[in-house]
């Protein structure tokens, strides 16, 4: 069975990871995952598209094997910046983008800002704020954001004895997720860089860090988007 190569590039001083599925002579295709996810959730789609594209699946900052930001805020514009750096690092003059959920929002902003870099765009469930959507006053949004970050900072990590327990928690939050797929996601969601002797990626469930009893850490690294740093 085809498996990707792990590769890294730098953006804003962060070491960011992507899965490279090969086929370098084919048109480049970038798969952009959602907010509570990581790049290996694309595996089945990546394998099916591999004969036609050079498939690249990045771990967005704060997800998978990519570095966390310094602090706790992740703005859509920062993800867009990382996507620009990824396109530069693979020397792709133009790319096809497929984005899911938050990744769809990032892909939409990227494509609207840099249309000359995009051949085709596919968005799966990507949503964003409409220009005329009502907003609370800025001081209220900042106050709410500070409170959210305080709660994340004080949250106690959840603990799982096994990867099977972590996969079961994922199924609990998504009834349509099969056990095999949940275990696949959990296996590729252990933190490889922050624990010993066993390591892995980050699991796509809520909470700042989830530690298992056998040296594994299962993490969800995203913070909160800034209430005022919006691109549109």
Is residue 117 one of the residues assigned to a domain?
yes
pLDDT computed for residue 153 by the predictor: 75
**Residue entry with tokens 């980050």:** 202
Give yes or no: residues 93 and 31 share one domain: yes
Q: Summarize pLDDT for 66-119 with one digit per residue, the tens.
A: 998 877 678 899 999 999 999 999 999 999 999 999 999 999 999 999 999 999
Residue 54: its H or E element:
strand 54-58
Mean pLDDT for all residues in the chain: 81
Spatial separation of the C-alpha atoms in residues 23 and 7, rounded to whole Å: 15
Domain identity same for 120 and 12: yes
Residue 141 lies in a domain: no
Number of domains in the chain: 2
Using the 3D structure, point to which of 102, 124, 146 is the last residue of a domain: 124
Q: Is residue 72 part of a domain?
A: yes
Q: pLDDT above 70 covers what percent of the chain?
A: 78
95 shares a domain with 187: no
Assess whether 105 and 163 both reside in one domain: no
Residue 96 belongs to some domain of the structure: yes
Place of tokens 């765009």: 121
The tokens for 164 are 């099977």
Banded pLDDT at 208 (limits 50, 70, 90): very low
Task: Kindly state whether residue 29 falls inside one of the protein's structural domains.
Answer: yes
Tell me whether residue 163 is in a domain: yes
**Residue 173 included in any domain:** yes
Domain that holds residue 94: 5-124
- 48-57, 64-73, 79-88, 191-200: which range is least confident on average? 191-200
Do residues 99 and 47 share a domain?
A: yes
- Is there a domain that residue 142 lies in? no
Q: Is the pLDDT of residue 151 over 90?
A: no
Specify whether 32 is located in the same domain as 111. yes
């Amino acid at each position: 069975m085809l498996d990707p190569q792990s590769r890294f590039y730098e953006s804003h001083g962060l070491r960011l990871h992507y899965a490279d599925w090969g086929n370098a002579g084919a048109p480049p295709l970038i798969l952009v995952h959602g907010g509570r996810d990581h790049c290996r959730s694309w595996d089945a789609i990546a394998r099916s598209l591999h004969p036609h594209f050079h498939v690249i699946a990045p771990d967005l900052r704060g997800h998978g094997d990519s570095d966390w930001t310094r602090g706790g805020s992740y703005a859509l514009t920062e993800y867009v910046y990382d996507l620009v750096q990824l396109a530069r690092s693979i020397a792709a003059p133009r790319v096809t983008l497929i984005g899911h959920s938050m990744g769809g929002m990032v892909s939409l902003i990227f494509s609207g800002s840099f249309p000359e870099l995009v051949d085709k765009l596919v968005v799966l469930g990507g949503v964003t704020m409409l220009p005329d959507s009502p907003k609370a006053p800025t001081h209220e949004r900042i106050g709410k954001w500070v409170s959210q970050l305080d709660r994340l900072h004080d949250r106690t990590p959840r603990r799982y004895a096994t990867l099977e327990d972590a996969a079961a928690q994922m199924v609990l939050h998504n009834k349509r997720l099969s056990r095999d797929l949940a275990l696949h996601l959990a296996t590729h969601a252990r933190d490889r860089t922050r624990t010993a002797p066993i390591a892995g990626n980050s699991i796509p469930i809520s909470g700042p860090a989830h530690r298992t009893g056998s040296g594994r850490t299962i993490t969800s690294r995203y913070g909160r988007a800034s209430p005022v740093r919006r691109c549109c």
